[in-house]
Structure 1
Amino acid sequence: MRKPFVVANWKMHKSVDEALDFIRSLQGRLPDADLVECGVAANFLALYPMLQEVKGQPLEIISQNAYAEYEGAYTGEVSPKALADAGINYALLGHIERRKLFNETDDLVNRKVIATLQAGMTPIICTDETMIQKEFSGSVHYVFEQLINVLRGVSFDQVKNIIISYEPSWAVGVGQHANPNLAEEGCRLIRQTIADSYSYEVADKIRILYGGSVNPENIKQIMNKPDIDGVLIGRASLDTDNFLSMINTVVELYKGAK
């Protein structure tokens, strides 16, 4: 069984002091890491102070982005090697807001994925619902075009070390009610895309998260779906009690399924 992963994406919220207060408020309240993996994706300024504060707690501090190069004349960008050297294990790549607001292309995200993997980090690749028909072994399948593009050049061994987050544009940042059935269908088709491109064995091991208007009221219905292995939570994760409530819901479901 794939271990669930609950990720808070704070976007451009919380100062460094607010981020540290949040981390301190979690002290002794997070479940065992054997039951669930938890993480917070914070702004760059807060990452290193949070890493120092979180020592001893089962909580990953996650970068919201990383560039496609390790060093050079790229003012304002952050090197995946620098993040890895600081102790960051995960980076969100290709978030729908990065694509819409900063015009990130599949090619750029692909280069970021390769660089992040080579730095020894795990990319959490965000992908939307854009699909095309492709033929594999004589059968026609619907596959995620964006995901195929950003995984170009990722080897069989490397792809085992990625996480994918399904972010349908109709549900991200709009506050609409997430539809668990549509979320499951999207995650199932992502797993099919991975199976077609690599193998069913690889697809069965990769964790697929759902991101889009997840909150304490709907997380149980979402996480009850077989192809959803975790969630990427936006505004509902800014409150400590909400975040813990959602983590505990996921733990109880995981215990019940084991």
Structure 2
Amino acid sequence: MAFPKHAVIITAAGSSERFNTTSQLGVKKEYLSLDGHTVLYRSVAPFLEVPQCAVILVTYPEGMEDQCAVALEDVFQQNFLPVVLVKGGKNRQESVFNALKMLAAMDLDIEYVAIHDGARCFVKPELVIRTLATATVFGGAVPALPATDALKIINDNGMITHHINRTHAVGVQTPQVFRYPQILEAHQKAASTAATYVDDTEIYTDYGQPVGICEGDRGNRKITFIEDIPDAENQIQAYLQSLEEGKRSSQAARALHQAMDEVRKEQQES
């Protein structure tokens, strides 16, 4: 097939609340390492291998732009595909919309946008290509796997209220691929309402656009809990210590510059 021109949005602006529940240390899971590379790097790198990508946009939480850049390792050093950091919003929906607005400002010649979770670090280029191909048929596409567990709906008290027939139930993954600018328009409409959405397929279909599925990959799992990363707690302690040392070094450097400025000022006045 001819590869469609596309952009990629990597969502990495979340708070990692479920990941940090046990330790309450507040470190983003995407910035920790698995087998020598950060989770975020591993989530981004496969998209570099897919032809006809115009740009990759990576969302980050407010105040963590530098940490996000470090976690991307040498992605900025490759010279054939631009990577842009975008400040995220208060939730995933707002973060994706921020990235889409940034993409609109770039005015690129693209046909599709792939949106991928920054914590889904086992994605393979083959899955990206399969999802892109499906999107060229339906306009939107998402990798999916049949539900294997019995599905139930519960009430606020934890009691089962409904039993779901799993025959037509699937679990969806990312990347989710959509025709552009239709996904931008769907997000614009969604932003004007009080509704909140679980993912971008819900936004896309809610505003009248079709989404087809392709075969997902059971290996394409998402880092969610602290036990998903071996030695995570040790990594977190080292990460926080490094941040604290960097903060102290920065404060010392600012104090030194301030002292030097005061000396120069005194010299000029005398």
With structure 1 as the length reference, what TM-score do the two structures score? Answer: 0.28
With structure 2 as the length reference, what TM-score do the two structures score? Answer: 0.27
- The structure number with the bigger radius of gyration is 2
